[in-house]
Amino acid sequence: MPISLRACKTRIGTIMEFSKYFLTLFILQAIFLHPSIHAAPKNSNLFREYIGAEFNNVRFTDVPINSNVEFHFILSFAIDYTASSSPSPTNGKFNIFWDSDNLSPSQVSSIKSEHSNVKVALSLGGDSVGNGYAYFNPSSVDSWVSNAVSSLTDIIQQYNLDGIDIDYEHFSADPETFAECIGQLIKTLKKNGVISFASIAPFDDDQVQSHYLALWKISQFMKYFEEQSSNYEEGKVLASFISDGSGGLSPDNGFFTACNRLKSQQQLHGIFIWSADDSKGEGFRYEKQSQALLAIPH
């Protein structure tokens, strides 16, 4: 089912605890949930990459994996729309929209068996489905949560996944409804032992544009990083880039210089990349460089 999906503009991630609900959502952030939040500043070897959205036959085994990093693949995407030629919303009943021929349950099991440092998650939403946008469109909080818990539990257990990522970019519901639905979903999946971690990537077009313009120079990137670290003082901010160079501070324009600077300040908490699909044609050179940097002793 060929689809055009764009997500994960240049992202910054924040590690927070599961018990918190997410009220400030429509900003350029990704929240990686973790039970420990009051640790002293330090670097991390966390590496995360989205995979499967663009149907160009990329496999887990194509991507270089450094054994000295914590590596998360994020399958993109599961969407609560019908898997038909004219997709329509299903109120929390999720279907698989990633390249499942090349990223199957057996391939998930295989990559995790071969690499003990690898975990695999799925991402919800994305930018588009079929020829239209993928909207968060619940009929009600209770019905959406019930359907989402049931359908995602089936997919997560079928694929032996470890977590979920929330990447809705278009909304037919207010922020409070979105926060309640996602908060209940994560809390329930965690309570049921279905997932061990979750990440959230709230998205707003106007803020994406305004923040993107500020990420072209290293100094601006560092200033933005510090601003978001201050906004999320109980969390940890992760830096990120788009591997095709289409936005934000790219590797060719100083991303790794900024990361080295953050690492020297004990503030490099991990790296996100969008996406393995785009990186395949370049031989995954930025994945190798990112992991090599993260694997250097803190």
Rounded-to-integer distance, Cα 32 and Cα 239, Å: 12
Rounded-to-integer distance, Cα 278 and Cα 274, Å: 8
Question: Do 268 and 43 form a contact (C-beta atoms < 8 A)?
Answer: yes
Rounded-to-integer distance, Cα 120 and Cα 51, Å: 10
How distant, in Å, are the alpha carbons of 101, 262, 264 from that of 157? 18, 37, 40
- For the annotated catalytic residues, the residue numbers are 169
Peptide bond into 77 cis (omega under 30): yes
What phi, psi does 29 have (nearest 5°)? Answer: -140, 160
